[in-house]
Amino acid sequence: MLGPGVAWYLAVAAFLFGIGALGVLIRRNTLVVLLSLELMLNAGNLALIALSRHWHNGAGQIFALGVMAVAASEVCVGLGLVVALNRRRLSLDVDTLSELRG
């Protein structure tokens, strides 16, 4: 087998996922939050593909395709929400959108 072992790929994926998660937690701008979400999803994809290759099993690649489809839809909805917020001249700061507070 060529190239680095699967552990490296997983480490990169975990790193990417950590960056994404931190971004979602820390950043306030809605667009950046969405961006971070994409990062997390793609970290997952990377792990799926790496493991697929490691185990010689195609299912992981199919999963990755499914995740991409989900990610695309999610971006549609998310960007749609951003546009809607913008049209109403509402702030894009997620912390100001706290109407659900109990």
Please, which of residues 6-25 interact with another protein by CB under 8 A?
21, 24-25
Burial category of 100 from C-beta neighbours within 10 Å (exposed 0-12, middle 13-18, buried 19 and up): exposed
Q: Nearer Cβ to another protein, position 6 or 94?
A: 94
| Least distance to another protein, CB of residue 99, Å | 6
100 binding another protein? (CB under 8 A): yes
Residue 93 pairs with which residues in a beta bridge? Answer: 29
Q: In degrees rounded to 5, what are phi and psi of residue 98?
A: -125, 40
| Least distance to another protein, CB of residue 79, Å | 16
Q: Which amino acid is at 18?
A: G
Please, which of residues 34-93 interact with another protein by CB under 8 A?
none
Q: Which of 20, 100, 35 is nearest to 74 (CA)?
A: 35
| Least distance to another protein, CB of residue 98, Å | 3
How many Å apart are CA 24 and CA 27, to the nearest integer? 6
Among 26, 62, 68, 72, binds another protein (CB under 8 A): 26
Give contact residues for another protein (rule: CB under 8 A): 21, 24-26, 33, 94-95, 97-102
